[in-house]
Structure 1
Amino acid sequence: MSDLRALFEMPLFAALSPEQRQWLAGNVSELELAKGDVLLHEGEQVTRHYVLVEGEFLVWKRVGSQQVFDDRRQAPVCIGEASLLSGIPLPLTITAGSDCRVLVFPEPVFRKLLMDCEPFSKMIFRSMFARINAYDTFILGREKLAALGTLAAGLAHELNNPAAAVARAAHHARETVGTLGDTVRVVIDSAVPADVMGELDAWSARRASAAGPVPQDPLRQNEAEDRLSDWVSERGVATPWLVAPCLAAAGIAAGDLAPLAGRLTSVQFSAAIRWLAATLELGSLADEAWRGAGRISEIVKAMKAYSYMDQAPLQEVDIHEGIEDTLMIMRYKLKHGIMVTRDYDRALPRLSVYGSELNQVWTNIIDNAADAMDGRGDLTIRTHREGDSVVVEITDDGPGIPLEIQPRLFEPFFTTKPLGKGCGLGLDIAYRIVVNRHNGAISAESQPGKTTFRVRLPLVSQGAGGVSR
């Protein structure tokens, strides 16, 4: 056996008596590893305790099909105590980051040290506690990143539609500007009377302001376009299939244009109608771009409010604003068949809370409700005051949660979702945020056709470090 002075200089073993040190020296073996050697594989059952006295270990964690670097542990350090005591397979792979010297303790020796040496047992349990906390933080971080990825995908989908509308409107607007320039030259060349142009200008402005994004019956719209197209074609208007939809969309019919046809020559009438159609089309495209840009602005504003960017973690907030921001962010998941009913008590006072964290609670509950309803059903959100607490109830009309698993809903890693769809941390995170961070309470009641998650937040928020009245 090599010199064990480095071992006994470790705080873990410094309190051993001479007799214990002699006994330990006779019951420990030594292992030498070259750089790159594997000490333990993830999923392996640990049967011995290891102490690295020279060198360093690299710790790896399998994520999906890849090995991801997790930590670097330098001598002196203990390895494998948590898995050895719990009997749970090792959740990590340990490799040598350099040439290493490792002391190996059989399980009976390790357990005897735990029983007979108080400093040893304290250090071991402190080490286990620190690593469990670190691993817990790692898992929670992965869950938050997964949730962020899901939200980002949904936001990308939501932003794509208005962004595409803006791009489409801008593209067609460039073409329409060219067409409008051509029609202006024709109007000038054909000498359309100034009073007629003034009338058309006022008419286009009036029609453009009156015409909004109100959907019309497609069949009736097509019939109106066909009738108008035939009518203007008979009067010599070029490309009537392009002109008629613009006029019909603004509510202009043949009867409205007939007086102009009687006052103008065929060339003048054609020029005037084409100018009017191009003007209306350009206004319509500008409105479409404005609505698209407004929608993008709404989504970005909601995302900023949802995450409380540029603000301190603790804010005085209106609880309803956070819920509405969450609904806006999750619109991609709700808009295809989930009807949201709001029953808000707008008289509720503002709360001093961790806003972005509380929004994560609403996200987890609403996301679970949407999955339970399979994307179709009724979601009711109700807020009210009970004594010194604000209560938020989120109810869905899904199939319900089986009675036997309801007590386990807030357990870490427990999920009823199919493999690969959930890791069972959403409600655990919600529980921690509500209970640990805000001194509140969260519960669930469920039966077929009605599942309600109830979040209770104190008006005096001691956990958040502030007071709300």
Structure 2
Amino acid sequence: MTPEELRELFLFEDLTGEQLDWVVRNGDVVEFSADTVFAAEGEPARCLYVLLSGAVTVFRTVRSDTVELLRSDHRGAYTGATQFYFGDQIEQVYPASSRTLTESSFLALPAPEFAEVFREWYPMAVHLLQGTFLGSRNWFERIGQRERLAALGELSAGLMHELNNPAAAASRATDTLRERLAGMRHKLAMLADGRIDGEQLRRLTELQESIVSRIAKAPRLTALEASDREDELGDWFDDHGLDGGWDLAPVFVAGGIGVTDLDRVADATADTFLEPAIRWLAYTVETETLLNDIIDATERVSTLVGAAKQYSQLDRAPHQWIDVHDGLDSTIVMLSHKIGPGIEVVKDYDRTLPQVPAYPAELNQVWTNLIDNALAAMGEQGTLTVRTTTNGDQLLVEIGDTGPGVPDDLRQQVFQPFFTTKDVGEGTGLGLDVSRRIVVDRHGGDLWVESVPGDTRFRASLPLRASDAPAT
């Protein structure tokens, strides 16, 4: 090519004569037939290609799918080693593949040599480009790390709060249980000091065992139902001349004990020993209830610890076949401190779904971002819906909320880095960008949003087949 021909291309129109001469000496005109991949993603970046004639498409391969980034037939469009000016500061590979759509010709400039003279020609521009690119990459890394640490701190604080509740309940129940056991021993001593015959004691013990076996199955009552039954028991105590029935009635009602059960106690006990027998039975019922409370509290602690372990994927392989519902459930548990009383959680799971190949710890980060955003959008009232199903050969996870929705003009922007609708300091704008890269780049899936006021759904699809699983 001649210098005059080069000036017709917008890249070279402002070069000096000396600079044009360098391009003429070092550039080669190359031709490719249609449908030729002349620069393959990931291969060493040897040339910057400037389109002279024909048409070109630039694309990346995401697992089994080809994602077109751009196509052009504009004379002067460039592709190939587009980051040549960094030199050896970064690994020089083609960031995407380039393929001709028609028979095409290009001016091919050698990337290493062009980088040297380009830095001489435009030192300030190169400095600014390098600063922008490398600075942005560092920003991403630092802000992303800060966001992960902030999220970890928030989840840890929430987990500690959730663990403290059952732990405190177990501690209170243990203290009360100690007092009740002391009272129970006292009443037992009164019953067994020889003033009650063995047959009465045997019948009382049988009644005790019968009642204890029903306590764990006692139905939950409304406040009104419980009040009515306490009144019935209070009347029974008054009829039998027992003082202090007001403090016994709630214990018996909570244990599912009714008037019929107390009649059986009265029938099995002499009148002179009825009150000690009733109070002994009350200690038994309350002791069993407290033991059930302790069991419930410790099971809650175990559930929380199990959820935290599943969420963090400690001691597990980074890539494995997983049941996606395990991660969703553990994430909901980890975020339970954010789910207020006005939020209803609906789990619409298809339990017949097969396991999928995935990085579970990374997917848990996705579920955390999506659920946390949904809760923030709804505020104190709304419905959080977590749904799983299939979409062709993909597993589909849907996180829905009843918030105000995402406006049409913002739906594509929400996945851009640093975009946020939250106030300054409340969000980095990286959550959805990170989520999309995890789902798309790491798992070969897709992440998108559908939204109208009152019904917003973020949908993540994951490949079902191992052949579509991401490379490690």
Q: Same fold (TM over 0.5)?
A: yes
- Which secondary structure state, in structure 2, belongs to the residue aligned with residue 279 of structure 1? helix
Give 2:177's aligned residue.
173
d(CA) in 2 for partners of 1:416, 1:209:
56
Letter in 2 for 1:384: T
Of 451, 455, 463, which aligns to 1:446?
Answer: 451
Residues 321 and 454 of structure 1, relative CA distance in 2, 3 Å threshold: same
Equivalent pair of 2:163/2:304 in contact (CA under 8 Å)? yes
Equivalent pair of 2:255/2:289 in contact (CA under 8 Å)? no
d(CA) in 1 for partners of 2:192, 2:357:
67
Please give the residue correspondences for 1:198-209 in structure 2 after superposition, counting only pairs within 5 Å. 198-209=202-213
In the TM superposition, what is the alpha-carbon distance from 1:429 to its structure 2 partner? Answer: 1.3
Give 1:304's aligned residue.
309
d(CA) in 2 for partners of 1:204, 1:358:
52
Letter in 2 for 1:376: Q
Letter in 2 for 1:363: T
Of 420, 431, 437, which aligns to 2:436?
Answer: 431
Residues 213 and 146 of structure 1, relative CA distance in 2, 3 Å threshold: farther
In the TM superposition, what is the alpha-carbon distance from 1:390 to its structure 2 partner? Answer: 1.7
d(CA) in 2 for partners of 1:151, 1:455:
23
Gaps of 5+ in 1: 1-81, 83-111
Residues 370 and 235 of structure 1, relative CA distance in 2, 3 Å threshold: same
Residues 253 and 192 of structure 1, relative CA distance in 2, 3 Å threshold: farther
Please give the residue correspondences for 1:191-340 in structure 2 after superposition, counting only pairs within 5 Å. 191-211=195-215, 212=217, 214-229=219-234, 231-232=236-237, 235=240, 237=242, 239-258=244-263, 260-261=265-266, 264-334=269-339, 336-340=341-345
In the TM superposition, what is the alpha-carbon distance from 1:353 to its structure 2 partner? Answer: 1.1
Please give the residue correspondences for 1:313-392 in structure 2 after superposition, counting only pairs within 5 Å. 313-334=318-339, 336-392=341-397
Give 2:153's aligned residue.
149
d(CA) in 2 for partners of 1:415, 1:118:
35
Please give the per-residue CA displacement for 1:218-246, whole angstroms capped at 9, x wherever unaligned: 23323433443454356454643433322
- Which secondary structure state, in structure 2, belongs to the residue aligned with residue 326 of structure 1? helix
d(CA) in 1 for partners of 2:359, 2:159:
23
d(CA) in 1 for partners of 2:188, 2:209:
17
d(CA) in 1 for partners of 2:236, 2:465:
72
Give 1:160's aligned residue.
164
d(CA) in 2 for partners of 1:355, 1:289:
33
d(CA) in 1 for partners of 2:268, 2:306:
52
d(CA) in 1 for partners of 2:313, 2:329:
14
Please give the per-residue CA displacement for 1:164-188, whole angstroms capped at 9, x wherever unaligned: 2211110100100110111111111
Letter in 1 for 2:166: P
d(CA) in 2 for partners of 1:257, 1:382:
49
In the TM superposition, what is the alpha-carbon distance from 1:349 to its structure 2 partner? Answer: 2.4
In the TM superposition, what is the alpha-carbon distance from 1:286 to its structure 2 partner? Answer: 0.2
Give 1:464's aligned residue.
470
Residues 263 and 387 of structure 1, relative CA distance in 2, 3 Å threshold: closer
Equivalent pair of 1:345/1:383 in contact (CA under 8 Å)? yes
Please give the per-residue CA displacement for 1:277-316, whole angstroms capped at 9, x wherever unaligned: 1111111100010011111111111111111111121121
Of 384, 403, 412, which aligns to 1:398?
Answer: 403
Residues 419 and 289 of structure 1, relative CA distance in 2, 3 Å threshold: same
d(CA) in 1 for partners of 2:151, 2:220:
36
- Which secondary structure state, in structure 2, belongs to the residue aligned with residue 303 of structure 1? helix
Residues 389 and 265 of structure 1, relative CA distance in 2, 3 Å threshold: closer
Equivalent pair of 1:113/1:120 in contact (CA under 8 Å)? no
> Given the two structures, how large is their TM-score scaled by the length of structure 1?
0.69
In the TM superposition, what is the alpha-carbon distance from 1:260 to its structure 2 partner? Answer: 4.1
Residues 123 and 195 of structure 1, relative CA distance in 2, 3 Å threshold: farther
d(CA) in 2 for partners of 1:257, 1:308:
53
Give 1:186's aligned residue.
190
d(CA) in 2 for partners of 1:289, 1:214:
19
Please give the per-residue CA displacement for 1:62-108, whole angstroms capped at 9, x wherever unaligned: xxxxxxxxxxxxxxxxxxxx9xxxxxxxxxxxxxxxxxxxxxxxxxx
Equivalent pair of 1:229/1:240 in contact (CA under 8 Å)? yes
CA-based RMSD: 2.9
> Is 2:418 aligned against 1:410?
no
Equivalent pair of 1:225/1:248 in contact (CA under 8 Å)? yes
Residues 425 and 127 of structure 1, relative CA distance in 2, 3 Å threshold: closer
Equivalent pair of 1:381/1:392 in contact (CA under 8 Å)? yes
In the TM superposition, what is the alpha-carbon distance from 1:144 to its structure 2 partner? Answer: 1.0
d(CA) in 2 for partners of 1:465, 1:113:
38
The percentage of counterpart residues that share the same residue type is 40
Equivalent pair of 2:218/2:255 in contact (CA under 8 Å)? no
d(CA) in 2 for partners of 1:410, 1:306:
24
Equivalent pair of 2:344/2:384 in contact (CA under 8 Å)? yes
Give 2:91's aligned residue.
none
Residues 214 and 147 of structure 1, relative CA distance in 2, 3 Å threshold: farther
Gaps of 5+ in 2: 1-85, 87-115
Letter in 2 for 1:359: N
d(CA) in 2 for partners of 1:123, 1:415:
29
d(CA) in 1 for partners of 2:237, 2:161:
41
In the TM superposition, what is the alpha-carbon distance from 1:338 to its structure 2 partner? Answer: 2.5
